[in-house]
Structure 1
């Protein structure tokens, strides 16, 4: 296990909300070595004592469910370096030390190329690793250039392009349900499955994130990475093992099989929209275009939908619907596998029988199978649902990812060619949207989305 973790962007929101609580969780679970040290790197004017006080405050706010002993251990392992990440000499000084180091870039993606180049000049010790948060580049060309720079720094298995969705319990349960249950795998194909919906709809509005979100939008923020990763797990062929090579090879196969979208396809199979003023619960929500920091002329979408088809033997005839939206009436975060209807119903009082749906709940986590059972009268049918509630994991998703980084397990990280293929899928959509081929629809905040 690597014992030096250097965290660039050490005073940011990602660090406060997710990385520090993840370290506390790992300590509480006994999975963090006693010798592990954390070096925070940021431009903030503070020393190590100030930084430890800041960590304690953030853990109280975002990690208060963990015991005080675990939170205190994270505080004790930390020190701080005030550093300008655009200064190569300062970056080299921040990572200097004995033994391999894990360098986590909790930074805006625009800074990645410069920091990675500076790390290359710093000559990281053998066995070091680097961690990057999505998005990996701003487009296909940017992803290729970033991969080139990373390849000059470290071997591919030492580069961790992390997506915390892959470490969520229910996402992992997709693999378990598919690959460990004989009753499902024979049905897991286009002969039996009509549509797969991969949905992340939330009541959350912009919430002060205009500086990031208005330059990205729903398609880049969610579909290009998180939802395409879920598509890979649902649609991939069974891997030989769940090791980094076998698992990631099969995921890349899925992305390569996505049928390229023509301009006509984009017009027919995609939608984009943004929210108008409305009300969610007891909150009055202003229009997205009126939010502080938003440039209305940019036409950034807060709702995006894309319907894909895979050119593969297994999935011929199945539609994959990826959808995400903000400021909606209700939370819906799930993967819904919709089976085709049975060819014949011999029941006298069948009525409207809905097809079977297997739902993997992402947030909250759970598993539901919608079936049809018997009703109150003879030969009458009625809906029946079987639900399994998932036990909350001892270690959150970011804890799992941090542990993988420190121990060197790259199976859940995104390989360079996978990042490029993800951009290949969405680039025709981005180009068509930017040229105005698909209108920017509108929907009231607190509604079900565009009509």
Structure 2
């Protein structure tokens, strides 16, 4: 297990909200020892004392549920370095030492290639690992180039392209429900499933993230990575094991099976929107284009929907609807599996009988099954919902990701060819949207999104 971690971009939101609390969770659970070292690097004109003061405040805000001694231990393990990720001498001072180090690039994706090249020139110790946050590149060409640069520095199994969705309990919930229950796996195909919705709708607005979000938008921020990863888990063939090679191979198979979108498909099967002024929970919300830091000329979408089909024996004929939006009326984060209606009902009136829906809740995490049960009067029907809550995980998603990085388990990270295939799937959408071939639809904040077609 590696006992040194370097974070570049250490004073940013990712570090404050997720990485420092994740490390604190690892310490609390006994996964980190007294010898753990945390090197924190940023261009800020800070020193170690100021960084520790800042980290203490952030952990009180975002990790206050963890024991005080665990928070103090993580803060005490930190050393701050003022360094630019494009300066080999500065980077060399951060990673100095003979032992392997895990390097977490908590940086904008546009800096990944230059940062990796700088690490190469700075002399990364043998056995070290590199961690990158999504998105991995900005399109297919940049993803291919990033993979080329990474391959020159470390072997593929030392590259962790992390997606915290894969560390959520829902991942094990989807796989466990499918593969460990005979009642479901025989039905897990297009003969029984009409549509799968993979949805991340939220009431949250921009929340001060214009610097990143206005360059990305909903398609790149959510659909291209998080939601495609969930598609892979729902649709993949049963792997031989949950080991790194078997699991990743099956995920890549799913992406390769996605039917390429033609120009006509993009027009019919994709939608993009942007929130207008409105009200959410009784509060006035400005239009996206009036938010601080937003450039209206970018035509950045805050709502994206893509309907995909898979050319495979199991899934031919099933639609997969991937959707994400901001500033909507309600939070809805789930994978909803819509089963086909039964072929025949021996009743005179069947209007109240709805197809079954199996829902995997993402936030909060849980499981629900919508059935039809007997109504209060003879030969009548009523909806019936079965629910189950998932057991609390010992570690938060970022705690699990960091543990995998430090112990060298890449099963839940994204392999290079997988990252490229994900960009290939959405390349026609990105191209058409950039040329404004698909109009951007306005929807009031606090609504259900663009009006139904």
TM-score normalised per structure 2: 0.98
Aligned partners of 1:322, 1:34: CA distance in 2, in Å?
A: 44
Aligned partners of 1:282, 1:338: CA distance in 2, in Å?
A: 33
Aligned partners of 2:395, 2:343: CA distance in 1, in Å?
A: 45
Indicate the residue corresponding to 2:131 in structure 1: 131
Deviation of 1:91 after TM superposition, in Å, equals 1.0
Aligned partners of 1:112, 1:430: CA distance in 2, in Å?
A: 21
1:117 aligned onto 2:117: yes
1:330 aligned onto 2:330: yes
Indicate the residue corresponding to 1:313 in structure 2: 313
Deviation of 1:393 after TM superposition, in Å, equals 1.6
1:48 aligned onto 2:42: no
Indicate the residue corresponding to 1:80 in structure 2: 80
Indicate the residue corresponding to 2:202 in structure 1: 202
Count of residues paired in the alignment: 451
- 1:141-171 deviation line (CA, Å, top 9, x unaligned): 0000000000000000000000000000112
Aligned partners of 1:70, 1:246: CA distance in 2, in Å?
A: 36
Aligned partners of 1:382, 1:347: CA distance in 2, in Å?
A: 14
Deviation of 1:94 after TM superposition, in Å, equals 1.1
Deviation of 1:349 after TM superposition, in Å, equals 4.4
- 1:56-85 deviation line (CA, Å, top 9, x unaligned): 111001100111111111112111111111
Deviation of 1:351 after TM superposition, in Å, equals 2.9
Indicate the residue corresponding to 2:30 in structure 1: 30
Whether the 8 Å CA contact 1:91–1:115 is kept in 2: the answer is no
Indicate the residue corresponding to 2:225 in structure 1: 225
Deviation of 1:389 after TM superposition, in Å, equals 1.0
- 1:22-48 deviation line (CA, Å, top 9, x unaligned): 111111111223321111011112221
Q: How do 1:131-170 residues align onto structure 2 when only pairs under 5 Å count?
A: 131-170=131-170
Aligned partners of 2:434, 2:46: CA distance in 1, in Å?
A: 43
- 1:100-159 deviation line (CA, Å, top 9, x unaligned): 000000011111111100111122222110000011111000000000000000000000
1:276 aligned onto 2:279: no
Aligned partners of 2:4, 2:256: CA distance in 1, in Å?
A: 37
Aligned partners of 2:81, 2:122: CA distance in 1, in Å?
A: 16
Q: Give the secondary structure class of the aligned counterpart of 2:54.
A: helix
1:427 aligned onto 2:422: no
Whether the 8 Å CA contact 1:350–1:379 is kept in 2: the answer is no
Aligned partners of 2:385, 2:276: CA distance in 1, in Å?
A: 36
Aligned partners of 1:229, 1:259: CA distance in 2, in Å?
A: 16
1:450 aligned onto 2:450: yes
Deviation of 1:350 after TM superposition, in Å, equals 3.3
Aligned partners of 1:72, 1:436: CA distance in 2, in Å?
A: 51
Aligned partners of 1:350, 1:109: CA distance in 2, in Å?
A: 53
Aligned partners of 1:137, 1:8: CA distance in 2, in Å?
A: 18
Q: How do 1:52-451 residues align onto structure 2 when only pairs under 5 Å count?
A: 52-451=52-451
Higher mean C-alpha deviation, range 317-326 or range 385-394:
385-394
Structure 2 stretches lacking a partner, 5+ long: none
Q: Give the secondary structure class of the aligned counterpart of 2:224.
A: helix
Aligned partners of 1:156, 1:228: CA distance in 2, in Å?
A: 21
Deviation of 1:258 after TM superposition, in Å, equals 0.3
Structure 1 stretches lacking a partner, 5+ long: none
Whether the 8 Å CA contact 1:373–1:381 is kept in 2: the answer is yes
Whether the 8 Å CA contact 1:341–1:355 is kept in 2: the answer is yes
Higher mean C-alpha deviation, range 193-202 or range 51-60:
51-60
Aligned partners of 1:282, 1:191: CA distance in 2, in Å?
A: 45
Whether the 8 Å CA contact 1:171–1:362 is kept in 2: the answer is no
Aligned partners of 2:51, 2:293: CA distance in 1, in Å?
A: 29
Whether the 8 Å CA contact 1:88–1:115 is kept in 2: the answer is no
Aligned partners of 1:166, 1:357: CA distance in 2, in Å?
A: 23
Deviation of 1:388 after TM superposition, in Å, equals 0.2
Whether the 8 Å CA contact 2:352–2:382 is kept in 1: the answer is no
Whether the 8 Å CA contact 1:374–1:380 is kept in 2: the answer is yes
Aligned partners of 1:92, 1:17: CA distance in 2, in Å?
A: 27
Q: Give the secondary structure class of the aligned counterpart of 1:204.
A: coil
Aligned partners of 1:378, 1:269: CA distance in 2, in Å?
A: 43
Higher mean C-alpha deviation, range 440-449 or range 292-301:
292-301
Q: CA RMSD in A?
A: 0.9
Whether the 8 Å CA contact 2:28–2:66 is kept in 1: the answer is yes
Q: Give the secondary structure class of the aligned counterpart of 1:215.
A: helix
Deviation of 1:210 after TM superposition, in Å, equals 1.1
Indicate the residue corresponding to 1:8 in structure 2: 8
Aligned partners of 1:46, 1:90: CA distance in 2, in Å?
A: 14
Deviation of 1:299 after TM superposition, in Å, equals 0.8
Whether the 8 Å CA contact 1:349–1:381 is kept in 2: the answer is no
